[in-house]
Structure 1
Amino acid sequence: MIIAVLVAVLLPLGLYSYRSTLKETRELLDGRLAQSARTLDVLIQNGDVDALHKPGQGPLIVPIIGRAAEEQLLHTRTYEAEVGYQVIDMRGQMHLTTANFAQLPLPHTLISGFENYFFEGYGWRVFTLVDDAHGVVIRMGERDDSRRDITHALSVDLGLTQLIGLPLLALLVGWAVGRGLRPLQRLTQALASRAPGSRQPIQLEHAPLELLPVVDALNSQLERLEDALERERRFSADVAHELRTPLASTMIHLDTATSGELPAGTRSALSSAQQGLARLARRIEQLLALARLEAGAASGQRGEVDLIEIAMNVIDELAPLLGESGVDFAFLEHDGVLKLQGYEAALAALLRNLIENAMHHVPARGQVQLSLERYGDNAVIDVTDNGPGIPAERRASVFARFHREASSSGDGYGLGLSIVQRAAQLHGARIELLDAPSGRGLRVRVVIPLSGTAEAPAVSQGTV
């Protein structure tokens, strides 16, 4: 942009300067012709003009050394052939002339001023001076090609200034701008290499004064952000600690209470209380998982993880729930190891919620299948069920928090897919909601780049 601005300013200025210089040069050359004519007129006034012309003889001709003679005799150029003059009287009788002006046509009218002539292969700029007092007409001329050489030299000088100066200026400006932005590059590198959770302020050596307020503002903002995240993490931990213990204690007391002989109404009420507490515990777990993902607590350090190992751990964790639900669960993996760059806790939450969500939407003795494969530079997670599925027009809304489909038979609160979506965003993953291959049910496909590029959320809808 700087170079474009310079070009936009300097080129018009150069053109204006060129035209102005040509005008001034022409005026200077015309002034020189007029001055030479007046000088010759003064010399003639102090002499005898009639002595210049003898009766019966032609005008007195001043010899001009041509270019060839110049180079041969004088070994240098005098440019005599490019200028000339005439002296004539008021009757048009020529008295004195240079050899190159001997054939110059006489003027039609005797008026002082400038004229342009073309004769003997050259254009001429001629100034005519009419001296009525002494009856003398002086004509002083200069060849146009001589003038063009001067203007050409000027144009070359001006053009070379632009042609050489602008690229040189572009290089210097580019170097200066690059040098000026080098502290910003160092700041970018410092921000990119900053470890998550670090409270070490950013420091730039030899930073320019203009950048110091930016660095101070960044350090202040990062400090406030870390404080907010720390409060969020502490809140999540406190909630987990303060709620899990009384919930677990209450569940134990209810189990103890229902182990004895109780009236049918009391036993039914206690059973309902147990189910309510179980749902409350599940909801708290989901809320805490979502809070950890939103606050970034689960993404402290990205590292190499084995997706198959994470899936096996999640399946082991959900084994009691799978056994109680009677769901026919299958796990398909084609490679023993499927490693990628990611966050283990977030991937575990993604798999756990996908499996639980599928379990809640299949009928009794329904089928849920988890498949892990690698396609090129991506890891692909497929969770397929034989439930009622989700119509295409409602698939975009299922990722909203607390949204529940009418076909859900579980005790969830519509947070599962929100957790899945956030975990996918942390890995730059793409989520696709597709029809199951059997034609009934839903297939949720998550495509995760193995390099683990963060924050590229995308939800696709389609049919296979």
Structure 2
Amino acid sequence: MSRLSLRGRLRWMIIAVLVAVLLPLGLYSYHRALKETRELLDGRLAQSARTLDVLIRHSGLDALRKPEQGTLVVPILGREAEEQLMHTRTYEAEVGYQVFDMHNRMRLATANLAQLPLPPTPVSKFENYFFDGYGWRVFTLVDDVNNVVIRVGERDDSRRDINHALWLDLGLPQLFGLPLLALLVGWAVRRGLRPLERLRQALASRAPGSRQPIQLTHAPQELQPVVDALNTQLERLEDALERERRFSADVAHELRTPLASTMIHLDGAMAAPLPPDAQAALTSAQSGLARLARRIEQLLALARLEAGAAAGQRGEIDLIAVAMNVIDELAPLLGESGVEFDFAAHDDSLKVYGYEAALAALLRNLIENAMHHVPLGGQVQLIMQRTQGTTVIEVIDNGPGIPPERRASVFARFHRESSGGDGYGLGLSIVQRAAQLHNASIELLDAPAGSGLRVRVAIPGATS
């Protein structure tokens, strides 16, 4: 499961809080509105019954006092006729009333309630009935002074229409408002986190080795301490890298000079006539010092690469020119080794964006490793070409190669594939680190001829 960004976490947390607060409030408001509506509608029924009672009391309706007079039925328009006549819906068919005399005989009623019977013992109260295919809410008013019973009713579907209207009024704003609110929250969070994006851009565009502090204009108060702490840490890091560079330079000076002096003395001693045993010992010492000198050069190169200082500033590099300089540097070693070396480039110029010293260290170690693992009279090839915007470097030898199951481990520091020679102790570690500085990939493959090793380095983003 992928981790959410800080922006996503804030957005969803705010939306979750809003939903957790607004939905219960909406439900509470809805139920509260339903209760108030029921009470209001019940109050309207009771008020209608009492109004009708007052009208009967003061008008003195004779029909209620003449037993021979039948029930007076008030006609009710149907919904279609109502809408046709009134051009609107008046809900006339959904309300009605009844009036009974002292003998519980119906004297006055609307057509829609004329067939609703009166309970044997009427009591003033609210009741629910199912009549003529509809549910009714009925209020009964018993007037003992006027000796009448008045019943006023309202159909349940009329009340449901009002409840649905309430649900739409309360629900639709949340239904459409929450997605809009989510979009506005996302916009607000994105805008609020814009200083973090500016900080990221400032860090990404910072040049290696720069001591210029990061400056954010109008930085929020909460972010300013972070910027100050970053500037402090970057300053300390640059100080540490500077000490590393100075240490590397001091070690190079302190070790190279005595080694060179010792090699000169050994050459002079070997030139003089010596017993065979002494001559063999001096030859062995000279070989050991040569290996030590190479190992020191590798350690220094690796230290510089780890400190990020070997290459200095990134820039456009002509890889073929770097390769020619490395070959000139290794020319004496190539001549003495008896190895046949071949360099092929498919272009006159291969430009890449990177660190010149790191690329030189990569090429030098690839060629030296290949030379030390081919037999006398063996062959080493350096091939450079550009393929679909990627610069490819291949170093091929006809040595014993490396078994496929061991190729993943040869990049470990001080790993040696064989006991003879210098092995792959540091060379490929330096190659790997230099490749990492250029986002390059490294592959160890079989040589095309069948025996030997082919090291393939692909550097993306070649320039024209």
Is the pair's TM-score, using the shorter chain for normalization, greater than 0.5?
yes
The reply on whether 1:202 has 2:185 as its aligned counterpart is no
Q: Is the 8 A contact 2:116 2:131 kept in 1?
A: no
The reply on whether 1:17 has 2:29 as its aligned counterpart is yes
Match of 1:242 in 2: 254
Q: Give the letter for the 1:392 counterpart.
A: P
Report SS of the residue matched to 1:141: strand
Match of 1:356 in 2: 368
Q: 1:71 to 1:351 in 2, by over 3 A?
A: closer
Task: Please report how far the alpha carbon of residue 345 of structure 1 lies from its aligned counterpart in structure 2 after TM superposition.
Answer: 1.2
Report SS of the residue matched to 2:385: strand
Per-residue CA deviations over 1:237-294 (Å, capped at 9, x if unaligned) read 1111121122222222333333334444444333333222222211110000000111
Q: Give the letter for the 1:369 counterpart.
A: Q
User: How many correspondences in the alignment?
Assistant: 449
The reply on whether 1:448 has 2:459 as its aligned counterpart is yes
Q: Is the 8 A contact 2:126 2:137 kept in 1?
A: no
1:164-313 equivalence runs, <5 A: 164-313=176-325
Match of 1:436 in 2: 447
1:32-431 equivalence runs, <5 A: 32-38=44-50, 40=52, 52-60=64-72, 82-89=94-101, 91-97=103-109, 99-101=110-112, 103-109=114-120, 110=122, 112-119=125-132, 124-130=136-142, 136-406=148-418, 409-411=420-422, 414-431=425-442
Task: Please report how far the alpha carbon of residue 160 of structure 1 lies from its aligned counterpart in structure 2 after TM superposition.
Answer: 2.8
Q: Is the 8 A contact 1:67 1:81 kept in 2?
A: yes
Task: Please report how far the alpha carbon of residue 70 of structure 1 lies from its aligned counterpart in structure 2 after TM superposition.
Answer: 8.7
Task: Please report how far the alpha carbon of residue 161 of structure 1 lies from its aligned counterpart in structure 2 after TM superposition.
Answer: 1.5
Distance in 1 separating the partners of 2:313 and 2:115: 96
Task: Please report how far the alpha carbon of residue 231 of structure 1 lies from its aligned counterpart in structure 2 after TM superposition.
Answer: 1.2
Task: Please report how far the alpha carbon of residue 164 of structure 1 lies from its aligned counterpart in structure 2 after TM superposition.
Answer: 3.8
Report SS of the residue matched to 1:422: helix
Distance in 1 separating the partners of 2:450 and 2:89: 100
Q: Is the 8 A contact 2:93 2:112 kept in 1?
A: no
Q: 1:439 to 1:102 in 2, by over 3 A?
A: closer
Q: Is the 8 A contact 1:53 1:59 kept in 2?
A: no
Report SS of the residue matched to 1:298: coil
Match of 1:460 in 2: none
Distance in 1 separating the partners of 2:439 and 2:86: 86
Task: Please report how far the alpha carbon of residue 170 of structure 1 lies from its aligned counterpart in structure 2 after TM superposition.
Answer: 2.4
Task: Please report how far the alpha carbon of residue 104 of structure 1 lies from its aligned counterpart in structure 2 after TM superposition.
Answer: 3.8
Task: Please report how far the alpha carbon of residue 77 of structure 1 lies from its aligned counterpart in structure 2 after TM superposition.
Answer: 7.7
Unaligned runs of 5+ in 2: 1-11
Q: Give the letter for the 2:286 counterpart.
A: Q
| TM-score, reference length from structure 1 | 0.86
| TM-score, reference length from structure 2 | 0.86
Q: Is the 8 A contact 2:73 2:114 kept in 1?
A: no
Q: Is the 8 A contact 1:283 1:412 kept in 2?
A: no
Task: Please report how far the alpha carbon of residue 107 of structure 1 lies from its aligned counterpart in structure 2 after TM superposition.
Answer: 3.5
Q: Percent identity?
A: 77
- Higher deviation after alignment, 58-67 or 355-364: 58-67
Distance in 2 separating the partners of 1:346 and 1:53: 118
Q: Is the 8 A contact 1:360 1:409 kept in 2?
A: no
Instruction: Supply the RMSD in Å over aligned alpha carbons.
Output: 3.1
Per-residue CA deviations over 1:338-370 (Å, capped at 9, x if unaligned) read 222222111111111111111111111111111
Distance in 2 separating the partners of 1:220 and 1:89: 98
- Higher deviation after alignment, 143-152 or 283-292: 143-152
Per-residue CA deviations over 1:195-234 (Å, capped at 9, x if unaligned) read 1111121121111111112112211221121111111111
Distance in 2 separating the partners of 1:163 and 1:220: 50
Distance in 2 separating the partners of 1:165 and 1:131: 51
- Higher deviation after alignment, 423-432 or 134-143: 134-143
Per-residue CA deviations over 1:31-86 (Å, capped at 9, x if unaligned) read 43235435655776788687634232223556778889999999998765543221
- Higher deviation after alignment, 37-46 or 419-428: 37-46
Report SS of the residue matched to 1:105: coil
Q: Is the 8 A contact 1:310 1:348 kept in 2?
A: yes
Report SS of the residue matched to 1:285: helix
Task: Please report how far the alpha carbon of residue 308 of structure 1 lies from its aligned counterpart in structure 2 after TM superposition.
Answer: 2.0
Unaligned runs of 5+ in 1: 453-464
Distance in 2 separating the partners of 1:365 and 1:75: 110
Task: Please report how far the alpha carbon of residue 450 of structure 1 lies from its aligned counterpart in structure 2 after TM superposition.
Answer: 2.4
Distance in 1 separating the partners of 2:90 and 2:426: 99
Q: Is the 8 A contact 1:306 1:339 kept in 2?
A: yes
Distance in 2 separating the partners of 1:336 and 1:74: 95
- Higher deviation after alignment, 348-357 or 74-83: 74-83
Report SS of the residue matched to 2:193: helix
Q: Give the letter for the 1:442 counterpart.
A: L
Q: Give the letter for the 1:439 counterpart.
A: G
Per-residue CA deviations over 1:11-35 (Å, capped at 9, x if unaligned) read 4543443344224322332243235
Task: Please report how far the alpha carbon of residue 374 of structure 1 lies from its aligned counterpart in structure 2 after TM superposition.
Answer: 1.9
Q: 1:302 to 1:90 in 2, by over 3 A?
A: farther
Q: Give the letter for the 2:426 counterpart.
A: L
Q: 1:349 to 1:139 in 2, by over 3 A?
A: same
- Higher deviation after alignment, 386-395 or 67-76: 67-76
